Structure formats: structure tokens, C-alpha cells
């Protein structure tokens, strides 16, 4: 489904002007050679690009420019390209804190440079243009053993490692890859290579439905978090994946044409921040199947927490206004946000797995329907009516891990289930509720932050999980006197006991009943609340008569609903109700004080 969607998206884009056998390649520096092949200079080959900063303002950064070079090798072993761009092959030198050296444990620098020299001298033999002859002379004269202290390389310093290089002859703009004699020979070479394919397999493409050459190997994707050389979406490299005598990617039945389409557009999506983001160990990509999907992708990107522009920021404000009002189905309101609400919108969650890309989930729906579901998701997760900013998936993820952990991440299967529930307006996974309850019971507030244990996001997650699970608005935005659930009432009662304790001590407590008893009260109320009731009566004696009457009435109202008995054990769902009851009563008590 993903490959077909990418091919459909590619068909809507402008036809690539890159000739067959060539591909775009990022180039950071241009190596300037004299006509005699002498290394004259190494110059940056960048261009300015406008991006959005965290506040949505335009920011200009320098990015590598693109060069149209012969198709790059897909092999992971040592294999040189025609007109090489990798520093290790060109210069045969490693760089570390001690400087430049051809030495390494596996002798890779020397092997790479030797492969480069052999391949390029063989290919450029017989081309007598000035540019190609200068390139040959450079290769023949360059000896890594004599270039440890080359001033041009030393000036690059740490930028040398990971940089890609292009060649220019005489001037920066006289590119080697544009030389007419080189192009003529390479086109002939490429045609002969295609005609001499002995392992060509013809079949009906499972993506395009046309008969053509089946791709034996799929081009690599520059995937965030994957191998620097690239990852493959389709890859069979073990006999366990073979069937009917078909080896490698012949099992996938994807034609060369379809393979080129989807890999090219996949790489383009991953180079545009409005089409992808990283969420823990998972990468999300998204696109609308139309020529210009910038409007749709900007809105979705902003809902994921990426910096919006001013127009998108206004649309997000409108979305949050609908969410606060409980909006779900007003079609005209969606049309006002964006006109093309019927366009197909795709979202995929992917993770790198060694040299391969693993698909975790795939979503397809109309943009309008998806946006309505995300507004409903924001509404369900909201527990504070004053919220004006969306709750991002990254914000949910942060509440599911220990605040003391520096490297813990939400497992991709759980994150995928949360995202799909939001996109499809379905029940949230039970593991989401279990995880956030565990965090509330085990985490502790500190002196600098009193909202670690329980905050708007955690309470909102519990509210959303329970309301969707039982398909009704059981839990409202604030304390609900009509909610007679014993667990909910116990949570509210715990908040009252805590407030009494704090008032009686003047707020000078190092440890409250929440620190000592919250987890056990949440699980086994009957074993804790009798003790808390006695403590509360002792604390109230230190308060004035008016306060004592006020709190006794609140306690009496809840105890009458509980009929004087506390539940012995609370299920996971009831523990969630207890937590939300505590949170909402606590908010009510402190809000009331502020209003007095």
C-alpha cells in the first residue's frame, strides 16, 4: 500500500528532468583542479534555504547544493562511483582528533582509494577533453601517504568527515560532470550496461499493473536513524524470504519503473520537514495525493508540533476553538479550514531495522475526515478548558516515560496504536491507560516542578481513554457532582483530605499524604481511607470553625454517596477514575480559593 501510494504521489508531481542513469547528489564542497590536475582549492558548494524556527519565523541556513551525477552505487562493500563524491575514496584519508591518516583497522581508506583509482582511470581512458584529462592527472598524482598535512584538507578539519565533494576544472562553475565528452561516453556505457543484463526478469508489476523488468535490487532511502549509506524498504537477503525459486527482490514483483518512482519520491519527502518528523524511535511521513500538498501538510505538520507559519498558526487556533467546544462533525467548518478536504491523505510510521525500513502502521483517508478526527482527539484529551495549544503526540510520549530517564522511549507499537486511534477516532489502546496510571503512581513531584506526578496531559489521557472505551462522556472537563462512581468519589475525597492537611500546617510540609499514601489509596482505598479520615479530623481541629464546617460538609456529601464504605480493590479503569477525581477536586478547591 505504501509503495503504491508513493507511486501515485510521484505521478502527481512534476516530471523529473534528470536523465536516465543519473541522480541528484548533495555536494558540500567543490574540488578545484588546474588543467594540469593540480589541486588548487576546495570551496564550499552551499546555497541559502529559508526554514521556520521554533517561533514560526523565517530563518536562513546554508545547505549543500545538488549535483546531477551518474547513479550512485547501492553496494555496501567497497565499490567506486563514476565521478566519486566520497572523501574516503577520493583522498584515501581518515580524519580523527589526531589529524589525517590512511591507516585504520580494516585498511578501508587504502582499499577505497585504490578502488577509486582503478575504476576512474579505466573509465576515463580514451577521453581527451581538457576536463577529463585534468581529472586523470589528479588521480595519477595524488598519493595519500604524502598528503597528511595538506593545507586545504586541514582547513576543512572536522567538516571533512561526512562531506561530499564534486570536481570543477579551472573555475568553480566548470563542472566535470557537465563535460560533453564525458556525457557522451557515460550514456553509451549506460546503454550497453542495460542491454547486457543477463539476469533480467520480466513480470507484471504488482504496483503499476504493467509488464516490465522486475527490480532485482531496490534503491536505498536516506532514512533518519538508519545506516548512513541508506536503507531499503524492500530487501530480501536470506533464503528464508525466498519462494518459488525467486531470489532477492524478485519476490516483491515490483518493476524497475515503480521502484525508481517510489524511492525517488520517498527520498524527497524525507528531505522536507513539512513531510516528515521523528517521534522517538519512529519516523512519520505524510503526503496528500496532489501536485501541491503544502497546505494540507503544513496543517498536519503543525498539529505534530512542527513550527507553523502565520497562516497555519491561525488555522491551528481555529482547530483548538472547535476542540474546546467539543466540535466533531461540522463539515462547513472543515471546508473553511482548507478547501481540498476530499483529497487522499497518507500517513506512515516507519522505523529503521539494520539496513531495512520497517513499516509500523499505514493510514489512508480523506484529509477532511482525518482533520475532523484529530480535532475530536484534541477535544477528548482536553481537561483544561483554558488550553489554547494542541496536545502533540510527542507531549503524550513524554508523559509515558520516567522524567528521570535520559534515554527511555515509548515503544513504536504503543505509539503507533495511539496515533491510529487518534486518526481513526477509535478506542485508545489499553496499554496507554495502564502506562500513564503507572507513571502517576510511581513518579514524584519535586521542589522545582509540582506537576510531574499529575498534570493536565496525564489527566487528559486518562479522561480520553475511559470516555472512548465506554463510548460516553463519563468524565467531564471539571468536577462532576453527578458522577457517583465510588472510585471517582474516593479520588475527590483524597484531594479534600490533602487540602485540609496543607491548610492546617500553613503549607510548610515536606511530605503530604499524597507522597505517602496516593499509590495505595488508588489501588486499595479500604485499607488507607479510615486512617486518612482520622488524620483529617485531627488536622481540622487546627482550623477555624467556618473552615471545619465547610470541609465537614464536603466530606459528608461524598461519604453519603459512598454509603460509608470504601471499595476494597480498584480495577485499572477505576484507578483512572480515582486519579481524575483527585485531579478535578484538587483543581476545584484551589480555584475556589483564588476566587475568594
Cell of 592: 475556589
Residues 294, 75: Cα–Cα separation, whole Å: 35
User: What is the model's pLDDT at position 1?
Assistant: 87
* Secondary structure in 3-state letters for 81-131: CCCCCEHHHHHCCEEECCEEECCCCCCHHHHHHHHHHHHHHHHCCCCCCHH
User: What is the model's pLDDT at position 14?
Assistant: 75
**Model confidence pLDDT, tens digit, residues 477-488:** 999 999 999 999
Per the CB < 8 A criterion, the answer to whether 269 and 356 are in contact is no
pLDDT (average), residues 399-428: 93
Q: Which of 439, 466, 435, 416 is nearest to 580 (CA)?
A: 466
**Model confidence pLDDT, tens digit, residues 302-313:** 889 886 666 777
Residues 6+ apart with CB under 8 A from 347: 284, 285, 286, 300, 362, 363, 370, 419, 423
pLDDT (average), residues 268-274: 90
Q: Which of 305, 528, 116 is nearest to 124 (CA)?
A: 116
**Model confidence pLDDT, tens digit, residues 53-71:** 666 677 888 889 999 999 8
Residue 329, pLDDT above cutoff 60: no
User: What is the model's pLDDT at position 405?
Assistant: 85
User: C-alpha 21: how far from its chain's center?
Assistant: 32
Per the CB < 8 A criterion, the answer to whether 62 and 172 are in contact is no
Give the range among 177-186, 211-220, 437-446, 520-529 with minimum mean pLDDT: 211-220
Location of C-alpha cell 582549492: 41
Residue 333, pLDDT above cutoff 70: no
Residues 478, 587: Cα–Cα separation, whole Å: 8
* Secondary structure in 3-state letters for 53-81: CCCCCEEEEEEEEEEEEECCCCCCCCCCC
Per the CB < 8 A criterion, the answer to whether 224 and 349 are in contact is no
**Model confidence pLDDT, tens digit, residues 6-58:** 999 999 987 667 888 888 899 999 999 999 999 999 999 999 987 766 666 77
Neighbours of 260 (CB within 10 A): 19
**Model confidence pLDDT, tens digit, residues 242-260:** 777 777 777 788 898 899 9
Q: Give residue 594's pLDDT band: very low, low, confident or very high (50, 70, 90).
A: very low
pLDDT (average), residues 411-419: 95
Residues 573, 586: Cα–Cα separation, whole Å: 20
Cell of 3: 509503495
Residues 454, 577: Cα–Cα separation, whole Å: 13
The model's pTM is 0.81
Per the CB < 8 A criterion, the answer to whether 375 and 303 are in contact is no
Amino acid at each position: 500500500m505504501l509503495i503504491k501510494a508513493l507511486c501515485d504521489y510521484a505521478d502527481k508531481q512534476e516530471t523529473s528532468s534528470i536523465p536516465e542513469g543519473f541522480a541528484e547528489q548533495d555536494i558540500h564542497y567543490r574540488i578545484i583542479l588546474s588543467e594540469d590536475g593540480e589541486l588548487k582549492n576546495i570551496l564550499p558548494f552551499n546555497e541559502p534555504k529559508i526554514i521556520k524556527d521554533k517561533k514560526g519565523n523565517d530563518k536562513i541556513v546554508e545547505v549543500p547544493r545538488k549535483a546531477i551525477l551518474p547513479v550512485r552505487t547501492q553496494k555496501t562493500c567497497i565499490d567506486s562511483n563514476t565521478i566519486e563524491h566520497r572523501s574516503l575514496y577520493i583522498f584515501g584519508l581518515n580524519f580523527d582528533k589526531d589529524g589525517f591518516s590512511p591507516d585504520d583497522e580494516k585498511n578501508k581508506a587504502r582499499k577505497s582509494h585504490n578502488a577509486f583509482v582503478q575504476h576512474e582511470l579505466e573509465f576515463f581512458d580514451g577521453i581527451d577533453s581538457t576536463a577529463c584529462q585534468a581529472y586523470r592527472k589528479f588521480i595519477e598524482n595524488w598519493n595519500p601517504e604524502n598528503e597528511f598535512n595538506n593545507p586545504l584538507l586541514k582547513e576543512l578539519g572536522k567538516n571533512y568527515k561526512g562531506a561530499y565533494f564534486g570536481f570543477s576544472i579551472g573555475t568553480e562553475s566548470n563542472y566535470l560532470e557537465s563535460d560533453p565528452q564525458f556525457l557522451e561516453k557515460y550514456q553509451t556505457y549506460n546503454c550497453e550496461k542495460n542491454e547486457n543484463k543477463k539476469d533480467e526478469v520480466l513480470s507484471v508489476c504488482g504496483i503499476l499493473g504493467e509488464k516490465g523488468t522486475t527490480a532485482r535490487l531496490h534503491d536505498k532511502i536516506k532514512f533518519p536513524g538508519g545506516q548512513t549509506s541508506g536503507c531499503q524498504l524492500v530487501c530480501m537477503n536470506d533464503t528464508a524470504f525466498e519462494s518459488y525459486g525467486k531470489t532477492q527482490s524478485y519476490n516483491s514483483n515490483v518493476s524497475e519503473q515503480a521502484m525508481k518512482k517510489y524511492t525517488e519520491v520517498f527520498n524527497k519527502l524525507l528531505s522536507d520537514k513539512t513531510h516528515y518528523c521523528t517521534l522517538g524511535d519512529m519516523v512519520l511521513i505524510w503526503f496528500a495525493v496532489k501536485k501541491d500538498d503544502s497546505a494540507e501538510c503544513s496543517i498536519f505538520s503543525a498539529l505534530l508540533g512542527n513550527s507553523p507559519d502565520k497562516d497555519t498558526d491561525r488555522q491551528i487556533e481555529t482547530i483548538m476553538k472547535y476542540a474546546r467546544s467539543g466540535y466533531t462533525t461540522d463539515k462547513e467548518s472543515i471546508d473553511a479550514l482548507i478547501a481540498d478536504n476530499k483529497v487522499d491523505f497518507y500517513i506512515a510510521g516507519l522505523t529503521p531495522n539494520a539496513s531495512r525500513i520497517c513499516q509500523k502502521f499505514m493510514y489512508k483517508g480523506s484529509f477532511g475526515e482525518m482533520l475532523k478526527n484529530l480535532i475530536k482527539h484534541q477535544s477528548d484529551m482536553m481537561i483544561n478548558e483554558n488550553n489554547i495549544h494542541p496536545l502533540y503526540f510527542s507531549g503524550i510520549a513524554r508523559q509515558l516515560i520516567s522524567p528521570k530517564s535520559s534515554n527511555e522511549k515509548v515503544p513504536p507499537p504503543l505509539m503507533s496504536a495511539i496515533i491510529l486511534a487518534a486518526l481513526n477516532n477509535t478506542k485508545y489502546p489499553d496499554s496507554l491507560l495502564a502506562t500513564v496510571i503507572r507513571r502517576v503512581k510511581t513518579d514524584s513531584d519535586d521542589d522545582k516542578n509540582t506537576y510531574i506526578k499529575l498534570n493536565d496531559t496525564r489527566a487528559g489521557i486518562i479522561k480520553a481513554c475511559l470516555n472512548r472505551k465506554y463510548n460516553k462522556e463519563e468524565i467531564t472537563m471539571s468536577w462532576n457532582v453527578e458522577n457517583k462512581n465510588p472510585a471517582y468519589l474516593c479520588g475527590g475525597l483524597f484531594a479534600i483530605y490533602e487540602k485540609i492537611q496543607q491548610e492546617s500546617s500553613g503549607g510548610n510540609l515536606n511530605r503530604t499524604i499524597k507522597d505517602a499514601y496516593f499509590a495505595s489509596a488508588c489501588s486499595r482505598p479500604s485499607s488507607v481511607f479510615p486512617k486518612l479520615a482520622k488524620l483529617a479530623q485531627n488536622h481540622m481541629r487546627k482550623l477555624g470553625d467556618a473552615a471545619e464546617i465547610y470541609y465537614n460538609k464536603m466530606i459528608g456529601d461524598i461519604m453519603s454517596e459512598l454509603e460509608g464504605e470504601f471499595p476494597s480493590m480498584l480495577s485499572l479503569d477505576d484507578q483512572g477514575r480515582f486519579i481524575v477525581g483527585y485531579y478535578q477536586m484538587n483543581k476545584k478547591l484551589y480555584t475556589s480559593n483564588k476566587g475568594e
